[in-house]
Structure 1
Amino acid sequence: MYLTDYHTHSCCSPDSTARLEDMVRAARRAGLRELCTTDHCDLQDENGAPLGGWDWTPILDQYWRARDKGGSEVKVLLGLELGGAYTDPGRAEALVAAAPLDFVIGSIHNLSPEAGGRDFFYLDYRSEEACYTTLDDYFASMLALTRLDCYDALGHIIYPLRYMNGRAGWHITLDRYGDQLDQLLRAVIQNGKAIEVNTHGGREVEDWRPILRHYHQLGGELVTTGSDAHSPGNVGRGISQAVALLRETGFHRFAVYRKRRPEWIKL
């Protein structure tokens, strides 16, 4: 089975201390064939304020050192998780053009500037109403993101639920967001972009079934798999289950990327 992890973070992300070399070793142990490092580059800080300059040097230095550590077993690719690109499209385009990237995840981690810009991680999900107000804003931001060309795969569509349900203990679903999900997936397909199955370290796999099924029914084909690992112990977790889920929901192939162009891997 050809297994790929296209969503991982190293010490070049503010929420990880892992060396990329150790992530590559973990990928070999997990039986992965490809590992894409996608460190965070958010255009907003945790309070929604625009972030300043961006230094590619530590990411590139680490990547060049680690690239050959996978040997012939694991291909190591250079990616980025670009957060909040729709808040400053010009800057987002300049950032991704400044490095020899293979793959870019487009993500939303914050409320919109109009809603205060606070990072979802720090929000108080004190009521179901607060959760749905957050999701209303989230899907509007995601739709704005799909209009851009500075990303390759739309990141973790179900992202806020990990805090609402996993941490705050609610049982929020996306049932009321059928129209928004439909618009989102159609825009992704029309623009030649992908979605990712983000396993969240193996904790979120089955959650993706309805989205994958609908995406496939709409004609969507481009899908990537990622663990969202921030430490070596989570590299590759849930990826084999994600591949199995892709088969079960009608997919016959998934995508890998080279210089931001998709290539196909048969399931």
Structure 2
Amino acid sequence: MFADYHVHTEFSDDSVYPMECVVQDAIRMKMDELCFTDHVDYGIKEDWDSGKPIVYRGQDPLANVDTPRYIREIDRMKQKYGGQITLKTGLEFGVQVHTIDQFEALFKRYSWDFILLSIHQVENQEFWTQDFQRGKSQQEYNERYYQELLEVVQKYKHYSVLGHLDLIKRYDPAGIYPFERVRPWIEKILKVVVAEGKGIEINTSAKRYGLTETMPSIEILKCYRECGGRIVTIGSDSHKPEHLGAGISEAKELLKSLGFDSFCTFDQMQPVFHAL
């Protein structure tokens, strides 16, 4: 089973990769299954139909997925290409504690196969711009990130897996913060995830971003397994053609080396297990 479960298209504000091109490229790669996971980040981005003005960063709109149009296009792709590849309907929810109610409403509005839960901002401060890290010590911004993630998983339940659990390291100007210093936070997060039948992803973009370890780290993957976790998806976090499907086979080998015997895809929010 060759599947990519973290895929962005032109419906994400940070991608111009047309959805139909994504599907055609995946078919050429002989991919069996693909799940679209375009971005919604309440708190810093507006819905297209919110009635509020859309702010632009250069030529890029700071806007969430145009969900009605997104759903229609996925349905069109399923009708046109369903005989060649399995396509799943998902989103990447960039949740913050104060935006949970908005995500609850969005989740209930449509039928989903898969929801990635990610933390891209805390208190509406972006990581990639360093707005969140600025003025804090490395310990402070790392611990605050995991504190937010813990509170989110304690309060928000409509998701499938945690996306790039240790994402903060991608944007850490001081380098990767030692796992042992945040282990207590991560263990608490993973115990909630496992107890509620949720999972985590291996995000294969780590090499692309120049990181020296996987995302999440091997320590986190081991900790998840020790906590009883079995649900793992694999996604490229693709935004461009050269990203699609990258690193999937290597991620499977990593899972096997750590004692996992399967990875997952999803159907109507339920995990489907595939032997490694």
Normalising by the smaller structure, the TM-score range is: 0.7 to 0.9
Aligned equivalent of 1:130, options 118, 132, 137: 137
Q: 1:160 deviation in Å?
A: 1.3
Asked if structure 2 preserves the Cα contact closer than 8 Å seen for 1:201 and 1:229, the reply is no
1:84 corresponds in structure 2 to: 95
Aligned positions of 1:104-253 closer than 5 A: 104-111=115-122, 113=123, 117-123=124-130, 130-147=137-154, 148-164=156-172, 168=173, 170-200=175-205, 202-203=207-208, 206-207=214-215, 208-253=217-262
78 and 85 in structure 1: CA distance in 2 versus 1, 3 angstrom threshold: farther
Secondary structure in structure 2 of the residue aligned to 1:224: strand
Query: Does the Cα contact within 8 Å between 1:68 and 1:76 map onto a contact in 2?
Result: no
Q: Tell whether the 8 Å contact from 1:161 to 1:172 is kept in structure 2 after alignment.
A: yes
Report the CA distance between 1:248 and its aligned residue. Answer: 0.7
CA contact (8 A) 1:85 1:92 kept: no
Distance in 1 separating the partners of 2:200 and 2:257: 17
- Deviation track 1:172-223 (CA, whole Å, cap 9, x = no partner) reads 3333101111111111000111101111175366353221111111111011
TM-aligned CA deviation for residue 131 of structure 1: 3.0
How many residues of Structure 1 are paired with residues of Structure 2 in the alignment? 257
**Residues 140-149 or 56-65, more deviating:** 56-65
CA RMSD of aligned residues (A): 2.5
**Are the counterparts in 2 of residues 25 and 69 from structure 1 also a CA contact under 8 Å?**
no
Partner residue of 2:24? 25
* Alignment-mate amino acid for residue 153 of structure 1: V
Partner of 1:11: 10
1:136: Cα distance to partner? 1.3
Q: Deviations over 1:132-182 (max 9, x none)?
A: 321111101110121221211111111111122xxx462433331011111
Normalised by the size of structure 2, how large is the TM-score?
0.85
Aligned to 1:255: 264
Change (3 A) 1:161 1:88: same
Q: Kindly indicate whether residue 70 of structure 2 is the aligned counterpart of residue 59 of structure 1.
A: yes
1:102 equivalenced with 2:113 (yes/no)? yes
Shift of 1:250: 0.7
Distance between the aligned counterparts of 1:138 and 1:4, measured in 2?
29
User: TM-score scaled by structure 1?
Assistant: 0.87
- 1:152–1:260 contact (8 Å) kept in structure 2: yes
Paired with 2:228 and 2:75, the residues of 1 have a C-alpha distance of: 37
Q: Which runs of 4+ in 1 moved over 6 A?
A: 49-52, 125-128
